[in-house]
Structure 1
Amino acid sequence: MTIEEMSQAVCKAASDKKARDIVVMDMRELSPSTDYFVVCSANTATQVRAIADSIEEQLQEAGVDFFHKEGYREGEWVLLDYGDVVAHVFMQEAREYYALEQLWGDAKLSVYED
């Protein structure tokens, strides 16, 4: 699986659980640690965890395991680190507060369309 296919698989898995505002941030020119961020929003902590579970399950079925997971218990912001692709699943308020799209404003953004 290429990193582009992996980022699209993350997007699809998030979309399957009704994630909102899914964007892919191209980090290749900005970060030595990852190539893409996939950022999405959810309404509740339960939905954040369901989206994270969907991403984890669908990538695991494709033979890809994450390196690190953070924030699952709290459910406000779950980070799944797949090395070249990092998924960020936020409750809307946390997404607005941390504003990754603004923090990494030089990243090229593409909006995921299902």
Structure 2
Amino acid sequence: MRFEELQVWKRSARLSSQIYRYFRNSKDFGFRDQITRSSLSIPSNIAEGYERKSDREFANFLSYAKGSSGELRTQIYIGMEIDYIDKATGKGWISESEEISRMIASLMKIKLEKK
């Protein structure tokens, strides 16, 4: 199996793509950079951890991805509050990032229980 086959990687990569497209023309470079980086960090850490040699290393990178999911949700909430993100889009992203976070936690549990 390859990381590209993991549903959690597919969903997080899709979410990151949506966020990149949404903020493509934003002039607030600081906010745009922060929210796109945190969204990109989720699938990137899943992929990097998957390519590591051990389940423990994979679990560590999954932990980073889960942390980035929380960071992303924080930025989405703030983006909605300051009217950078419309409420319907933001709520959808929050819901998807919460589900991705749950998927990551489940995968972490599986990998850590193998030890």
Q: TM-score, normalised by structure 2?
A: 0.32
Give the structure with the higher percent strand: 1
Give the structure with the higher percent helix: 2
